[in-house]
Amino acid sequence: MYVRVREHFGHLASILQDHIKIDGEWSPWSRIQTPCIDKASGVEVVCGGGVRKRYRSCTNPMPQGGGRDCPGISEEEFACNEHHCQLPGKFLWSPWSACSVYCGRGEQKRHTLCGTLRNKTRGLDYSQRPGASEKFRK
């Protein structure tokens, strides 16, 4: 008896579904868990700017019986990791100077970089203060 009733209601539901228009509605937005991706290359980035995406679908309910699709967008982008990338340590120092003497024991110097270039490298561990000098004796 139960099976027969269930079959009858299933058949009735399919008939009604064909005659009743149901407009689609959006599912809730997904949680933002996508990695931060560079839009141009598609590579995951940890600095320099990228985007994260979130999604939703037109399935709450789906359009049925000629009902309308959901209005609006199914995907959103959010900026992420917009801070500047740190410079490698080799860019924190000026090039070595020429040797102080042409022949024999002399000195070469280099200096830590200051100003705009150094400010782009916040977060690196500096063993010297800005403007410090380092000598190399031959």
Q: Kindly report the pTM of this predicted structure.
A: 0.50
Q: Are both 101 and 120 inside the same structural domain?
A: yes
Give me 109's structure tokens: 């110097």
As a whole number of angstroms, the distance between CA 126 and CA 132 comes to 11
Tally of domains in the chain:
2
Asked if residues 58 and 26 have their Cβ atoms less than 8 Å apart, the reply is yes
pLDDT value for 35: 92
pLDDT at 20 (0 to 100): 86
Looking at the domain assignment, is residue 64 inside a domain?
Answer: yes
Q: What is the pLDDT of residue 7?
A: 60
Last residue of a domain, one of 80, 110, 129: 80
pLDDT at 16: 62
Domain boundary among 50, 80, 110: 80
Assess whether 96 and 72 both reside in one domain.
no
Residues 54 and 101 in one domain: no
Within this chain, do residues 74 and 93 fall inside the same structural domain, yes or no?
no
**CATH number of 126's domain:** 2.20.100
Establish if 16 belongs to a structural domain: no
Q: Is 52 exposed, middle or buried (0-12, 13-18, 19+ CB in 10 A)?
A: middle
Give the pLDDT of the chain (138 residues) as one tens digit per residue: 444 545 656 666 666 666 789 999 999 999 867 899 999 999 999 988 999 999 999 999 999 889 999 999 999 999 999 988 876 666 677 788 888 888 888 888 887 766 555 444 444 444 444 444 555 554
Instruction: Quote the pLDDT of residue 121.
Output: 44
- Looking at residue 130, its pLDDT comes to 45
Task: Write out the residue range of the structural domain in which residue 120 sits.
Answer: 89-137
| Confidence at residue 128, expressed as pLDDT on a 0 to 100 scale | 42
Q: Is residue 27 part of a domain?
A: yes
Is 102 found in the same domain as 71? Answer: no
